[in-house]
Every structure is written in C-alpha cells, then in structure tokens.
Amino acid sequence: MIPPPEDDGTPRPAPHDDTRPPASGDVPPLTIRDLTVRFAGLTALDAVSLTVEPGTVHAVIGPNGAGKSTCFNVLSGVYRATSGSVRFGPHELTGMRPHRIAELGVARIFQNLALPPRATVADSLLLGRHRLTRAGFLGAGLRLPSAAREDRVHRERVREIAAFVGIEDQLGLPAGALPYGQRKLAELARALCMEPRLLLLDEPVAGMTAAERRRTAAVIAGVREGLGISIVLVEHDMGVVMRLADTVTVLDFGRRIASGTPGDVQNDPAVVRAYLGQEAAGA
C-alpha cells in the first residue's frame, strides 16, 4: 500500500499582484488526449489522456521509467509528441516552442537546480519576470524613467514572492551559497515570478530533509489555495502527493493505468502491482 501522507503544516497567505486579474478566473484547463511519444522505436508514452482542471493540483506518478519526465518535456516544449494533442485552453501546445509556451503562462521547475550560482537570489528571481517586462533593452540601458519605474515594480514583486516562500532574507546572497533546500525554494520562487497560470513541478521536494519537504509542501498548498493556478506535480514522495493532489494519474511503462482521487488511486490493485510487483502485492 502507498504510504499515508505526512502533516505538511499550514501555508502562509499567497502573495497577490493587484495588477493581474484573479488567477482562478484566468486559468483554462489543460487537456491531454492520446499523447504518444516514440524514440527510435521505443514508446515512452502510449496514448496517454488526462485533464487538469483549473485551479487544481494534478499529480502524475509512477515507477522509474514510467514516462513522467517525458510527459513534462512535451508539456514544456522540450520534446515533440509523435501523435496526440496537448491543449491549454484554446492553445495547442504540441509543436510550440518552449518560449511561446512560457508566454502563455506555463512555468516549470526541473529536477536539477538551474539557478546561476554567482548571481544573487534577487537577480535570479528577476529572470522569472522577463516575459512580463515591457521596457526594451535601450530603455533599460539608458535608465529611462519608465524603465526605472518598471524595475522597481518587478523588484517589489520579487520581494513579495521571496517572503511567501521564506527566502526573503537571502535575496542579497549568491544563489550558489544557499543550502540545497533553500535553492529548491528559490527555483519555485523564480517560477512564481513568471505569474504563471499553470505550474509544472518536477520532483520539487527531491533530496530534501523531512522538515524541508513539509515546508515546501505548505508553500505549494498556499500557491493553489491563494492564487488558484493549476499545478501538475511529478513527485516520488507519496506522502506529499497524497497530501497535495486533488487528482492523481498513474503511469506505468508509458501507459495510464489509473486516475482518480488520491484515496482511490492509493488502493487500486494495478497501482500496487506497479509499485510493489505482482508477487509483493499478493503476499
């Protein structure tokens, strides 16, 4: 049986940006239909279908090699699907370049840390504001008043988001100087700085201590509850998955073998077999 969830604590109120409409009214569904990905004859995803309802946490789980990362790479434009469809509201994402997908409000954090180690945390988070920046290179270089005003707005928003995830005191430090758990939180903060409508979290608590996992899970819960954005979560920590997810889809060898509420999926015989093996499941 999949382990029960841990207590993830009480999240702080999520930051709110008064310049944007409420996220819950601005988030379309993510609809994946018959998604297939093949590499030189190897089928990594085989006709996978699922729908991420607006403002929910949808977990995609499965054993190693099940196709979870391949699915994420298609959603973010890193891989192209062999066949099938991925739609974010009216937009077809299959075949779209990663920067165009990001412009639609899709943000992703990866398994591996990707912050520039010598840049300050504040400057690293500002990278997430790039798609929202209106001042051009010339205006910023000449320090025009409009560019200076915009820079102040973005830096204030960075401070708000850093405070929400609990790293406000580290904004002036080099990103590479942060402990591992705080660097993972900074990655999450940078994604939130994009003001996303859909957040793709690829193993956000991997490698963390139990306390760091609880803290990060509380932040993710606060994002969903306070901002109303949709979250697709890939995570091996089943306690975190069962605590956060509204819906869980299980992949095994590239196929969807189960989908439903955490409680339903937790006790599904096919899921138990996928994780524990047929012999262990019947023992």
Looking at the structure, do residues 146 and 256 belong to the same domain, yes or no?
no
More confident residue, 247 or 140: 247
Task: Give the Cα separation of 176 and 197 in Å (integer).
Answer: 28
Q: Per-residue confidence at 31, pLDDT binned at 50, 70, 90?
A: very high
Going by the DSSP 8-state scheme, the letter that residue 23 receives in this structure is: G
Residue 2 has pLDDT above 80, yes or no: no
Q: Per-residue confidence at 229, pLDDT binned at 50, 70, 90?
A: very high
The domain total for the chain is 2
Asked if residue 3 is part of any domain, the answer here is: no
More confident residue, 13 or 236: 236
75-79 long-range Cβ contacts below 8 angstroms, 24+ apart: 75/30, 75/101, 75/106, 75/108, 75/200, 75/232, 76/101, 76/106, 76/108, 76/200, 77/101, 79/37
Task: Give the Cα separation of 78 and 70 in Å (integer).
Answer: 9
Dihedrals φ, ψ of 48, to 5°? -85, 135
Asked if residue 202 is part of any domain, the answer here is: yes
Looking at the structure, do residues 136 and 189 belong to the same domain, yes or no?
yes
Residue 202 has pLDDT above 60, yes or no: yes
Average pLDDT over residues 2-8: 41
- Find the range with the poorest average confidence among 34-38, 40-44, 141-145: 141-145
Asked if residue 250 is part of any domain, the answer here is: yes
Looking at the structure, do residues 96 and 144 belong to the same domain, yes or no?
no
Distance of alpha carbon 19 from the chain centroid: 23
Asked if residue 238 is part of any domain, the answer here is: yes
Instruction: State which residues form the domain around 270.
Output: 29-105+198-283
Residue 130 has pLDDT above 70, yes or no: yes
Looking at the structure, do residues 176 and 206 belong to the same domain, yes or no?
no
pLDDT tens string 133-157: 665 544 444 455 666 677 788 889 9
pLDDT tens string 74-127: 999 999 999 999 999 999 999 899 999 999 999 998 777 778 888 999 999 988
Average pLDDT over all residues of the chain: 84
Task: Give the Cα separation of 49 and 34 in Å (integer).
Answer: 5
Q: Which of 49-63, 147-161, 258-272 has the highest mean pLDDT?
A: 49-63
